[in-house]
Amino acid sequence: MKLNYLYAVLMILGFAACQKLDQEPKSTANRSAVFGSEAGLQLYANSFYTMLPGNATTLDAMSDYLAVKSVPSFIQEGAFAPSLSSGWSWSELRNINYFLANCNNPAISLDARKHYTGLARFFRAYFYFEKVKRFGDVPWIGKPLDVSDSALYNGRDSRKLVMDSVLADIDYATANLRPNLDATRSTVTRDVAFALKSRICLFEGTFRKYHTQLNLQATAADWLNNAAAASKVLMDKGSYTINTAGGLGNSYRLVFTNPTPVATEVLLASICDLTLNVLNDANWWWTSGTYGAKASFTRTFINTYLNLDGSSFTSNPNYKTTLFKDEVKNRDLRLKQTIRSGNYKRISGGVQVAAPPLFSYTFTGYQPIKWTLDDMYYDAGALNINSIAMIRYAEVLLNYAEAKAELGTLTSAEWAATIGVLRARGGITAGLTTLPTVADPYLIANYFPDITSPVILEVRRERGIELCAEGLRFSDILRWKRGPLMEMEWNGFYVPSLNTPMDLNEDGVLDVAFYQGTRPTPAVAGVTYVDVSSTISGKVNSQKLKDGTSGELTWMNEISRKWNDKQYFYPIPQNDLLVNPKLGQNPGW
Amino acid sequence: MKLFLMHHKKAFFIGTFIFIQALITFLPQSVYAGLSFNYQQTIPSKISGKVLDENGTPLPGANIIIEGLTQGVRSGSDGSYTISVEPGTYNLVVSFISYKTQKVSGIIVGAGQTSIQNIKMLPESATILNEVVVVGYGTQKKENLTGAVDQVTAKALENRPLPNLTLGLQGVLPNLNIRILDGKPNQAPTYNIRGTTSIGQGGSALILIDGVEGDPSLLNPNDVQTVTMLKDAAAASIYGARAVFGVVLITTKKSVSGKTSVTYSTNYASKAPVARPDFVTDGYLWSKMFAEAFVNGDGSFPQNINKTQKFSQAYLNEFKKRSESGAPYNQVEIDPVTGEYTYYGSTDFYKELYKNSNAAIEHNLSVSGSGEKTSFLVSGRVQKQDGLFRYNSDDYDMKNFRARGTVQIFPWLKIDNNADFSVMTYFNPLNVGEGGGIWRNIGDEGHPGSVMFNPDGTLSFSAAYTVGDFWYGKNGIATSRQVFRNTTGFTSNFFSNKLHVNGDFTFRNTNNNTEQKRVQVPYSTSLGVINYVGTTTNDLGIDRRETQYLANNLVADYEDKFNDKHYVKFMVGYNYEQSKYKRLAAQRNGLIFDDASDLNLALGQAITTGGGYEMWAIFGGFSRLNYSFKDRYLVEINGRYDGSSKFPSNQRFGFFPSFSAGWRVSKESFWKVKPSIISDLKIRASYGSLGNGNINSYAFQENFGISQSALILGGVRPQRTSQPAVLPNGITWETSTTTNLGIDLSMLSDKLTFTGDAYVRNTTDMFTVGLTAPAVFGATVPKGNYADLETRGWELTLNWKDKFNIKSKPFSYGIRLTLADNSSKITRYNNPDKLLSDYYEGQTIGEIWGYTTAGFFKDQADIDASAKQGPQMRASPTNIWYPGDIKLEDLNKDGFINIGTNRVSNPGDRKIIGNSAAHYIYGINLNADWNGFFFSTFFQGVGKQDWYPSTESEIFWGQYNRPYNNIPKWHVGNMWTPENTNAYFPRTMSRAASSNTNRTLGIAQTKYLQNVAFIRMKNLQIGYNLPKKWISKVKANNAKIYFSGENLWTYSPLYKLTTGIDVENTGPSDQVFNPGGNSGDGYNYPMLKSFSFGLNITF
């Protein structure tokens, strides 16, 4: 009897238990929930944005115009090998392809599906653009592959095939993204797609034009025309202008330091906001002696900033021996918004303090301030609240001007509407409305020996200045096929003599002095003394003067930087090639 | 062996069918037997007799009870006793302290009769064979065991000031491997039995507390009666799929029979770190070395010391001048121009961080007793350990309460209720400057040349990043864990105690809550100017996790002996468990003031909310058959059908059988060896196979995890999701098959006992990631049943017990030695090319591939003549090699240091240089008793183990890691210079050990591979049992005082290099905060040593 009860209880428990063995997750979503509503598509699409370089300000650490604390091994002779290569990562692509393969629920309006498909394809175009820039030929993969799919072991597809697909993707995005504007400039809109298209097409057009070994020159014009056309859409639309708020001499830098994106000019930005606890590390990176690359501009590049009257600074016969305090005067107003100079001041504990170039940071004297906030509070860690512009209207104008210049069809009116506008913001008063006619010998000698067109030369000058330290320079060098620029000497301002303290910002306080061997005594209070001996305790000193005891500062000339044609593409990383030998290695690696 | 894939309903019916058979067979008899108890009552019947000792002299005070009847008596002064009973058949159990318990079965008492039973007691000898060992759903005598089972009693845990039970179990049982990650008192490490389990799903031992899964770190160590380890599949399989890698059974104490007794114990301990890093604290020496390391490794003269201090040649020169002139350190000066502070300090941040010692105190009270039909036990404990941190102390507090009682409702039915409640709280202070553990923060910003405080009392910038945050004292995580558990069970017996039916029902609520506060910390770098660190994390986070767990067991067994030869015991049972976990978390920034502690006072817009849910259920039917013939041949068969919600429905059920057998050779008639030489010899063998049920819930479903984006999109930080993990196409259970051979030996009249086991455990079809797919796959390669692993090992236990007289008082002593080893090899893996970036067939788990260090470059000629080290290696920011840099051996003589094709067949210049797994793990226990004094000590150690210090390991690499790291004192004078070419380290250089891709010290190599074998005195006790005549004055029965020390002494070959590193605490950085991290070895809470005094008194 007693055991009968037990048995009955057992049976009941047993059946109850079996049902409990079916358990479903409740704290995660399933596929039908994510792809069954527009909100779900939005939820998923939010994951694409992590692909964008939140803080692109550091990318130019590898460029010709910034001297950094150590030579990137990629351009150091004998230092780079496929074993050190990286960037062969494809998870972002799969994330997009998975979305595209599932964004097909008829319960969602066609318009919405097209919009989100356009968004995904925008990011796929972005993804492949980056891959092609880095590696050249890459495999084209248009769907989430099964792990047993033999396509995983395919070789690479031709650049032509891949870039045609990229164009198809970005064209789909420009046609199907909803045309509404995002006032916060934080999300991808149809306008952003046009801007990206202009960037991609300019890259591809010029790349094909100058990299003749690809045998794709014949198609270069199509891409350039596409670049111009995409830019033109935005120019005609009139939604954007070059920012002039903040006044002459400030409006340029405001675009980079304002907490919220300057909506007139910025199309897409990485947003920072203290209240939402999203911050960037620009001050830390650009001011710390250890954290960042200690990047500062070379004199060769600073020399390209025009005088206010539109003339070339280097046309002055004494430009080579002009002192820092003088050479920053009377120049394109963007110069003083780009480097510490003149009466630039920082804020320490709420008080304005003079801020001449600081030789505990800079190697050349041309210390960047484009992205940094003036308050020193932001220097110690990732504390910056300025939103970082990723695509802005100035680039669109430059893309237009360059594409047309390369096509040989840029008119004076178009010059005025593009380069002219940008130079006007720099306070330049002449040459704004007519095409240049004189090829600047300085640009030819130092930068583009093969270019004879004054228009192309000036467009490239303008692009270098306007977009400096925005992470686009290295890809410009690649597409112009001007890799040897990476070998350019890292030089700094002119030092007339040793042991002579200099006042860099003319505030009456001496700032820096250069010496060799023993530091002059007595030391002048407040002066940073920099040893420019050829060796210090038996080791080569990286900081020297060009003519021994006077001349331009030089930095790290003892390390040879070398550009070979193979460097136009990164090598396929050693381990990835071992896994799939069919990928083949890029030439020369 | 594998009978999986059974449909669950079918399995259920088969499971219950066995049970029904058993019940139907015995049901009628039981009803009859039940009736027979209640309706025959005439003249009183009795059992009486005398209890005598081994010499025949009467033994007064012995306990005599009748099994199943709770009522018991004590023998009188002449040893006699009488018990009145109903007519029937009885089993009599007689016990007396230090005598073997005697049992007389089957006493038939007729109506009105008196059965005379004189009992002769034999003293308890050294034998451990009669020990009762806890096994799955029951107990067994050790002599009858056939599986590999090991057990320790409460003795191993006595008198030790343990913040939690797990610390006390470390090293106590051979091959029970408990890796304690660091010294935090709230550590809850996993229990491993017999080495690497699976490189796929993983899995550790199942821990059952009184038969129900539980967390031992929340258990009162004083409540523990026994801890049993079921090592092989035969012993563990009764628990099914979760027991695949062994079971640890912890049973808690039951009430003692007889009169009420009260035991109070207390101890007070003073604790301190086992090892403190021995860092350079001289500000000038540190600064000088910093500059040298920085110039060589970072390529220029430093302008700052990381983020918090300015640096220049002028500063260094000035510091040198002061140092050489003997001027006092710890000076803070104010720059007259800028108003900034300049520090010429000599600060020992670790001294600021730790107290010299921290106290711990424990009180434990237990009351227990029994009446005629009831018994009870109530125990409570308070354990408090002061934090080790000088400021913002990390106090630990644990309270345990247990109430247990039984009621004998009928002679055949007893109800038992066992409830316990535990609360653990721990406060873990935080650093808001950069987050992460304090040790890494000190490594980054605790520069000796800085100071804690500025002259105006504000914190320095260095301090605010490090210990100053603790001094400010507001930031931290308060952890609280609460467990309430109640088990109600019944035990019943039928047919003269041959059939037992036991059942229990348990519910348990576990709350695991944290509250985290991070407010900004003020500091000053210029006179009168206050800045803050932690401005981005000014927030309060509250996280509540609750797990509701239910378990239900029902077990019946029948045992009988036929013809005095055939002993049979059959057991069948049912088990159901379910667990539901829910989480609610919220975090918000913008605290209205620093001391705000409620979310209502957080006003910011950075709001994070989180949920969480998991539910699983398992259901199993099991049975066991034991058979022995003449106590000579022993056989045991176990089987269990197990179903788990964690597997997809077509794979949900598995059947897991096991077999074991034993042969007591010494019971054979041909065995002529004298018992005084070998008293008992048993050979055991077992074989069993189990599926691995240690798997995450929902692992087979496509899950889209939703989290908050780190980016601001459209003015908010929206939620996001992304592609789910790629699911495998068709998988099956991982299976672990264990073969075990064992021997139990008693020698020299049971003075010496030996137990040895050797095993092979094959874990097959391990659920591992597939062959590395080309990166274009774009996701983690889905897992599949791609790998096999073989673990071989053995363990030995040797016990010696003896006594003799010293000054006519008995001196008894014992020695217990345990030794265990295991090693695992991959026997199958989906890596045909044997790429070294992945597991490969033939790989021994733990092997370290590395280069051979040839020495240091002597001069330029040596550099030119040697194999080219770059670009694979890098010794300076300029890629230029200098004398004093590491020279690696070009093993393959190709002129370059390289990794070949990174395959086993072509590893470049690397080879296997060591193994990071612990080998020859041993324990030594010595104890002695004499005239009331007792002594015991326990040593534990590892015979062989290698350690290659990881990247970011400041305690080992010092400034070779990061230039601003602390310098271990043993580095000074031990770095290569042209004058000191025989140094241990290469020329000074920062960042040589901060990356393991191409930096000369970051990659494993022979010269810096450390031997971390060790022996540690885990515990030492000296105590005295106070004489009866003293304690009888306070009416106590028993009282003792003792000294107990933990971790008092250690030796390791590593200590030839330095004693500043605790050899047992070389694991990666703070695993509580960075679970799974693999760098920053030694950035950890230190293990503690302690001295304690205690008192234990029983009334």
Residues comprising chain B, all counted? 1099
Contact B879 A17 (CB under 8 A): no
- Categorize the per-residue pLDDT at B4 as very low, low, confident or very high, splitting at 50, 70 and 90: very low
pLDDT of B30 above 50: no
Residues 6+ apart with CB under 8 A from A206: A220, A224, A402, A406, A479, A480
| Look-up of token digits 């700032």 | A511
Query: How far apart (Å, rounded) are the C-alpha atoms in residues A195 and A268?
Result: 10
Contact A348 B724 (CB under 8 A): no
Of A44, A291, A381, Cβ closest to residue B721: A44
**Overall average pLDDT of the B902-908 stretch:** 92
CA distance B775 to chain A (A): 6
**Overall average pLDDT of the B329-353 stretch:** 87
Residues 6+ apart with CB under 8 A from B964: A290, B290, B305, B306, B443, B444, B445, B447
Among residues B896, B892, B895, the alpha carbon closest in space to that of B907 is found at B892
Contact A13 B574 (CB under 8 A): yes
pLDDT of B148 above 80: yes
Query: What residue of B is the nearest CA neighbor of A354?
Result: B338
CA distances from A71 to A133, A294, A486, B255, B298 (A): 21, 11, 10, 76, 11
Question: A145 and chain B: CB distance < 8 Å anywhere?
Answer: yes
Residues 6+ apart with CB under 8 A from B12: A14, A18, B619, B621, B641, B643
Contact B27 A79 (CB under 8 A): no
- Categorize the per-residue pLDDT at B336 as very low, low, confident or very high, splitting at 50, 70 and 90: confident
- Categorize the per-residue pLDDT at B753 as very low, low, confident or very high, splitting at 50, 70 and 90: very high
CA distances from A393 to A119, B141, B308 (A): 20, 85, 39
HSE of A304, CA atoms in CB hemisphere, 13 A: 25
CA distance A406 to chain B (A): 35
Task: Please list every residue in chain B whose beta carbon sits closer than 8 Å to the beta carbon of residue A141.
Answer: 776, 778
Per DSSP, the residues of B885-927 read SEEE--TT-SSB---TTSBTTB-TTEEEEEE-S-EEEEEEEEE
Count Cβ atoms below 10 Å from residue A504 Cβ, excluding itself: 24
Q: Is B951 helix (H, G, I), strand (E, B) or coil?
A: coil
Residue A43 has a pLDDT of: 96
**Overall average pLDDT of the B849-865 stretch:** 95
Contact A22 B649 (CB under 8 A): yes
Residues 6+ apart with CB under 8 A from A377: A347, A383, B531
Task: Please list every residue in chain B whose beta carbon sits closer than 8 Å to the beta carbon of residue A7.
Answer: 19-20, 23
Peptide bond into A522 cis (omega under 30): yes
- Categorize the per-residue pLDDT at A1 as very low, low, confident or very high, splitting at 50, 70 and 90: very low
Query: How far apart (Å, rounded) are the C-alpha atoms in residues B153 and A499?
Result: 81
pLDDT of A276 above 90: no
Per DSSP, the residues of B589-645 read E-BSSTT--SGGGB--S-EEEEEEEEEEEEEEEEEEEEEEETTTEEEEEEEEEEEET
pLDDT in tens, B693-729: 888 888 888 889 999 999 999 999 999 999 999 888 7
Count Cβ atoms below 10 Å from residue B916 Cβ, excluding itself: 15
Lowest mean pLDDT: which of A532-546, B28-42, B555-569?
Answer: B28-42
Contact B298 A81 (CB under 8 A): no
Among residues A478, A369, A533, the alpha carbon closest in space to that of A133 is found at A478
Residue B460 has a pLDDT of: 95
Query: How far apart (Å, rounded) are the C-alpha atoms in residues A125 and A107?
Result: 27
Residue B1031 has a pLDDT of: 84
Contact B712 A49 (CB under 8 A): no
Contact B871 A27 (CB under 8 A): no
Question: A98 and chain B: CB distance < 8 Å anywhere?
Answer: yes
- Categorize the per-residue pLDDT at B431 as very low, low, confident or very high, splitting at 50, 70 and 90: very high
- Categorize the per-residue pLDDT at B569 as very low, low, confident or very high, splitting at 50, 70 and 90: very high
DSSP state of B340: B
Contact A79 B871 (CB under 8 A): yes
Of A18, A30, A576, Cβ closest to residue B12: A18
Residue B39 has a pLDDT of: 43
Q: How do strand B910-915 and strand A543-545 relate by DSSP bridges?
A: unpaired
- Categorize the per-residue pLDDT at A289 as very low, low, confident or very high, splitting at 50, 70 and 90: confident
CA distance A340 to chain B (A): 18
Contact B720 A33 (CB under 8 A): no
pLDDT in tens, B360-375: 999 999 999 888 788 8
Query: How far apart (Å, rounded) are the C-alpha atoms in residues B98 and B534?
Result: 64
Among residues B567, B434, B549, the alpha carbon closest in space to that of B484 is found at B549
Task: Please list every residue in chain A whose beta carbon sits closer than 8 Å to the beta carbon of residue B578.
Answer: 20
Among residues B177, B150, B168, the alpha carbon closest in space to that of B754 is found at B150
Is residue A538 within 8 A of residue A528, CB to CB? The reply is: no
Q: Is A18 helix (H, G, I), strand (E, B) or coil?
A: helix
Residue A519 has a pLDDT of: 83
Residue B3 has a pLDDT of: 37
DSSP state of B42: S
> Higher model confidence: residue B302 or residue A497?
A497
Helix residue ranges per DSSP H, B232-371: 233-236, 283-298, 313-325, 349-353
Lowest mean pLDDT: which of A526-540, B58-72, B459-473?
Answer: B58-72
Amino acid identity, position A162 = V
Instruction: Give the mutation candidate from B9, B19, B300, B1003 for the A interface (greatest A CB count, under 10 A).
Output: B300
Contact A141 B720 (CB under 8 A): no
Contact B899 A99 (CB under 8 A): no
Query: What residue of B is the nearest CA neighbor of A524?
Result: B314
Residue A111 has a pLDDT of: 95
Residue B70 has a pLDDT of: 60
Residue A539 has a pLDDT of: 75
**Overall average pLDDT of the B61-67 stretch:** 78
Residue A83 is encoded by which pair of tokens?
Answer: 């074993």
Q: Which residues pair with B575 in a beta bridge?
A: B553, B620
Q: Is B56 helix (H, G, I), strand (E, B) or coil?
A: coil
Residue B869 has a pLDDT of: 92
> Higher model confidence: residue A538 or residue A454?
A454
Residue B973 has a pLDDT of: 94
- Categorize the per-residue pLDDT at B831 as very low, low, confident or very high, splitting at 50, 70 and 90: confident
Question: A516 and chain B: CB distance < 8 Å anywhere?
Answer: no
pLDDT in tens, B594-647: 899 899 999 988 899 999 999 999 988 999 999 999 889 999 999 998 888 888
CA distance B22 to chain A (A): 11
Residues 6+ apart with CB under 8 A from A550: A495, A496, A497, A498
- Categorize the per-residue pLDDT at B25 as very low, low, confident or very high, splitting at 50, 70 and 90: very low
Per DSSP, the residues of A73-92 read GGGBTTT--GGG------HH
A190-210 and A159-176 are packed helices; what angle lies between their axes, rounded to 10 degrees?
A: 160
When the pLDDT of each residue in chain B is averaged and rounded to a whole number, the result is 88
- Categorize the per-residue pLDDT at B40 as very low, low, confident or very high, splitting at 50, 70 and 90: very low
Among residues A488, A491, A551, the alpha carbon closest in space to that of A364 is found at A491
Query: What residue of B is the nearest CA neighbor of A283?
Result: B307
Question: A109 and chain B: CB distance < 8 Å anywhere?
Answer: no
| Look-up of token digits 């210990």 | B467
Q: What percent of chain B has pLDDT over 90?
A: 54
| Look-up of token digits 């929340």 | B218
- Categorize the per-residue pLDDT at B188 as very low, low, confident or very high, splitting at 50, 70 and 90: confident
pLDDT of A66 above 50: yes
Residue B1074 is encoded by which pair of tokens?
Answer: 């960075």
pLDDT in tens, B81-108: 888 888 888 888 887 766 777 888 888 8
> Higher model confidence: residue A210 or residue B73?
A210
**Overall average pLDDT of the B816-841 stretch:** 92
Q: Residues of A numbered 359-378 whose beta carbons fall under 8 angstroms of chain B's beta carbons: which are they?
A: 360-361, 377
Instruction: Give the mutation candidate from A13, A21, A34, A351 for the B interface (greatest B CB count, under 10 A).
Output: A21
Helix residue ranges per DSSP H, B150-212: 165-169
Among residues A255, A284, A295, A259, the alpha carbon closest in space to that of A383 is found at A284
pLDDT of B660 above 90: yes
**Overall average pLDDT of the B833-843 stretch:** 90
Contact B604 A275 (CB under 8 A): yes
pLDDT in tens, B306-316: 888 989 888 99
Lowest mean pLDDT: which of A120-129, A332-341, B161-170, B340-349?
Answer: B161-170
pLDDT of B1043 above 90: yes
Residue B84 has a pLDDT of: 81
Task: Please list every residue in chain A whose beta carbon sits closer than 8 Å to the beta carbon of residue B26.
Answer: 3
pLDDT in tens, B242-295: 888 999 999 998 877 667 889 999 999 999 999 999 999 999 999 999 999 998
pLDDT of B24 above 70: no
CA distances from B1099 to B61, B365, B379, B1038 (A): 17, 11, 15, 7
Contact B779 A91 (CB under 8 A): yes
When the pLDDT of each residue in chain A is averaged and rounded to a whole number, the result is 92
Of B16, B775, B997, Cβ closest to residue A14: B16
pLDDT in tens, B389-422: 999 999 999 999 999 999 989 888 999 999 999 9
**Overall average pLDDT of the B116-142 stretch:** 74
Contact B777 A152 (CB under 8 A): yes
**Overall average pLDDT of the A145-162 stretch:** 94
CA distance B605 to chain A (A): 6
Which ipTM score applies to this complex? 0.93
Of B314, B590, B704, Cβ closest to residue A28: B704
pLDDT of B823 above 60: yes
Number of H helices, E strands in chain B: 12, 55
pLDDT in tens, A88-99: 999 999 999 999
Query: What pTM did the predictor assign?
Result: 0.82
